[in-house]
Amino acid sequence: MTIATVSLQYAVAGLFLLLSAITYRKWRTLRERTWLLFSFSVAMLGSIAGLARLAELTEFRYSIFNDLSVLAFLASGFGLLLVRHELLPLSRRVVRAAFVAVCAAAVTGIIVRIPMSPSAHFNTPDIVALWVLVVTWTACCCEPIVRFWIAARGRPAVQRSRLRALSVAYGSVVALLALVLSAGTHDPSPGKALVYQIFSIALIPLLFAAFTPPAWLRRFWRQHEEEALRRSMQDLLPFTETPSVIAERGLEWATRLLGADAGTVIDSDGRVLAMRGDVAAAHRVSPSPSPSESAAARPLQHNTIIVPLPMERGPGSIIVVSGPYTPLFGMDEIARLREYASSLAIALDRVRLVEALAAERSSYENLLQTVSDLGEGFLVVEKLKVVYANDAYSRLSGYSLEELKALPSIVDLGTPAAKEMVADRIRRRALGETFPDHYESEMIRKDGRRIDVEVAQKFITSGNAGVRTISIIRDITERKRSEQELRRLDLGRRTFIVNAAHELRTPLAVVNGIASMLATHRDAMTQHQLEEGFNALSRQVERVRILIDNLLDLTVLEQEAAEAVELQAVPLALAAMRALEAAPPPDGKVVEIALPDAVEVMADPMRLDQVLVNMYTNAYRYGGEHVRLEARDAGGSLVLTIADDGPGVPPDLVPHLFDPFTRGPDSRRMHGSGLGLVIVRRLVETFGGEVWYEPNQPHGARFSLRLREVA
Amino acid sequence: MTRVLIVDDEPDIVLTLKMILELEGYEVLDAESAERAHQVVAAEALDAILLDIGLPGADGWEFLEQIRARRSFDTGRVVVVTAHVSASSPARAREFGASYVAKPFRSEDVLAAVGRAVAKRESVG
């Protein structure tokens, strides 16, 4: 054996043992069995070369070196199988069977004691034992070689390259052994021995690269991934999914880029945005590190990287955990991940911004819809042109949104007064004057109907859009009408009270005046004066009584107006007779009742009697000598008329005939209350009927009532 | 004898005022409308007028305007006696120089107002 070969043999043994020591150190740091088993396997390979050298130095006198070599050889193979078992678990049965095979081969090798000397003669048992050893060892190595190669398929570039490096490295060891065996059992030539040793040394960096690849090699492996990653980073920005989807996509690339096994993306609030693999189980790390923990890029453990995600809402983090196939992370991986994290953070910020804008828009639309649901019109106008109007405004104005947008000016919808108001507001705004945001105005609908509106308006200056007015418009036509009706009712009530007071003043004046004269001048009064005085007192007291009765009747009617009156069939002729008995004609008046006997109307009998009494009384006071009661059929209803041949109602009085305290020209002599016809109208309305006046021919008055006839 | 015209369309008011004035020695004439009152004013020598406002046809205020315009009677010797009580009525009466008595009235108020109206004639005369 040449000196060079011997030196190389030492170098091989030393380098294998060095590699073993390095991997052992890794195991000491990481406490992962893979490293220990690999260290063991490599140490065993290295020790074979050392034992061969020792045997040679002792001139092959000690068989122990033979036995130890056999054991080391088989142990290196079995050690590799266990490495494979750690990375890709085998079934227990297979492991046990392999162990038994290895033990059997070891026993065979030890019993047969294969000679170590290159010059020794190999008999048949030696050759058989040698083949048993080689086949067993090769089986232990080849299975992982093939398995690693197959398992590399479809894995991220770094993992794939590393698995294949392992496969190639072990394949090379097997190839070396095959080369040695193919040369036969004889002592190789010095040249061949040198080649074997050089080949053995070449295996060292291959194995080293397979287990602890340097940064440049990792970068090399990553080259294709880097290209895809660049495209992914570009894709992240226009990608507008949810933050979780973005985070999952980003995490997929982060783990793929580093060839990592698991990872997670943590939001600024500690929430997990995405997770790949079993992070906690992969390296027993907390999935929710505090922001301070994730503030800087650093390995949390030797096989974990935490890189901060510098997001707008606060820092989050990406945690990447290496797997069994992942090379240890170095500064290069951290730098790459940090770079990627920045892009991911921007993408997350962007998608959140888009989400926030969408939420803002949604709440804006909800608000507008709510405003619309409440019937409030919402209008955005720019340079007097409609930019936006909600459904409620369209309903309010009668124009569709398209029609509103096509209007030359929104002011066209206003009445002249409203146009003037808008012009005034624009002028005051130009002058910088303040004016109220709320005002009432009028507008003309598409159908020409004028409506009253209440407007709350703001001027908004927004960038390129210029000045916009945003208005909420409410239709207050009904409210205005109600207010007018209330004012009218209030005026009517006050007028009623003034008139009632006036009606009481006259009789009180008579009572007061005559009573005071009776008290002071009774002795001076003639009999005639006394009689006239007492008669006047009596008439005025009666007048006050009637007035009070009528006022009470009206009050009761007002109270009962809202209540349903129970109607029944009332024979009209009988009711007319009853009323005539209650209000018989005074001297000089004649009443003629010309009603068919069988006619019945739907009414409240008591109220119908009161109606008829009032009508008779009215006719006696203001009519002529003859009063006639007649009825005619009017298609489902019956018209009852009281006609007289008096002077009739002066035309200027007719419109006010059924208003309170309206009385005929000669009323002061008649002592009426001025409420009789008002009461008649209210009573008839409770029956669902109506009352009206028309002049009689050739003269006189005709008061008619429409009543529901019983079929 | 002092002559007073009562212008009112309410018979019992006329009766009451007539009783008050006659028992105090006045000679009383009456008219139920402004139109009739103009005729009396034109035909008779009167010392005072008791005037209702709510008359059929032309009302009391119109009657005052007319007699002032025609100078047929001194409106200062008119006593407005009315149930149409409003815040502006006394002031309106004063514009004509007339006195104002609201219904319901006391007999002494009526007599006092008529006395003042008659006194104006005497002071002028």
Q: Is the pLDDT of residue A668 over 80?
A: no
Whether the predicted pLDDT of B95 surpasses 90: yes
Distance of alpha carbon A243 from alpha carbon A249, whole angstroms: 10
B103: which chain A residues are within 8 Å (Cβ-Cβ)? 505-506, 508-509
Q: How far is A542 from chain B (nearest CA, A)?
A: 13
For residues A395 and A296, the model is more confident at A395
Work out the angle at residue A664's Cα, subtended by the Cα atoms of residues A678 and A656, and round it to the nearest 5 degrees. Answer: 45
Question: Which residues lie below 8 Å from residue A562, measured CB to CB, with a gap of 6+?
Answer: none
Give B45→chain A minimum CA distance, Å.
26
What is the per-residue pLDDT across A396-423, written as a single tens digit (0 to 9) for each?
Answer: 999 999 999 999 988 888 888 888 888 8
Q: How far apart are CA A685 and CA A702, in angstroms?
A: 19
Max intra-chain CA distance, chain B: 36
| Shortest distance, CA B85 to any CA of chain A (angstroms) | 8
Residues near A162 by Cβ (< 8 Å), separated by ≥ 6?
Answer: A210, A213, A221, A259, A325, A326, A327
Q: In this predicted structure, what is the pLDDT of residue A692?
A: 94
Roughly what angle, to the nearest 10 degrees, separates helices A190-211 and A157-182? 160
- Model confidence over A34-63: pLDDT tens digits? 778 888 888 888 888 778 778 878 877 788
The fraction of chain A above a pLDDT of 70, given in percent, is 88
Cis peptide before A188 (omega within 30 of 0): no
pLDDT band at B28 (very low <50, low <70, confident <90, very high): very high
Nearest residue on chain B to A528, judged by CA atoms?
A: B19
The count of residues in chain A is: 711
Query: Cβ separation of B103 and A517 shorter than 8 Å?
Result: no
Confidence of residue A292 (pLDDT cuts 50, 70, 90): very low
Give residue A629's region: left, alpha or beta (phi > 0; psi -120 to 50).
beta
For residues B24 and B22, what is the distance between their CA atoms, to the nearest angstrom?
5
DSSP structure string for B26-54: -EEEEESSHHHHHHHHHHS--SEEEE-SS
Q: How far is CA B2 from CA A55, B6, B24, B96, in A?
A: 177, 13, 10, 22
What pLDDT is recorded for position A297? 43
Name the residue among B23, B104, B107 with its Cβ closest to that of A505: B104
Give the number of A-B residue pairs with CB atoms closer than 8 Å: 82
**pLDDT: which is higher, A334 or A491:** A491
Residues A509, B103: C-beta atoms closer than 8 Å: yes
List the alpha helices (DSSP H) in A183-240: 190-211, 215-236
Q: Kindly report the pTM of this predicted structure.
A: 0.49
Distance from CA of A368 to the nearest CA of B (A): 54
Least confident of A45-59, A273-287, A390-404, A622-636: A273-287
Query: Nearest to residue A313, comparing CAs of A353, A274, A273, A340?
Result: A353
Average pLDDT, chain B: 90
Q: Could you give the maximum distance between any two Cα atoms of chain A, in Å?
A: 186
Cβ–Cβ gap A516/B107 under 8 Å: yes
Least confident of A6-10, A654-658, A703-707, B57-61: A6-10
Q: What is the DSSP string of B62-117?
A: HHHHHHHHHT-S-GGGEEEEES---TTHHHHHHHTT-EEEESS--HHHHHHHHHHH
Q: Which of A23-37, A80-94, A620-634, A673-687 has the highest mean pLDDT?
A: A620-634
Q: What is the pLDDT of residue A301?
A: 47
Position A339 pLDDT exceeds 60:
yes
Return the exposure string of A432-452: e unless at least 16 CB atoms fall within 10 Å of the residue's CB, then b.
eeeeeeeeebbbbeeeeeebb
pLDDT band (50, 70, 90) for residue A258? confident
Average pLDDT for B47-57: 90
Is A505 at the interface with chain B, CB within 8 A?
yes
Amino acid, single-letter form, for residue A8: L
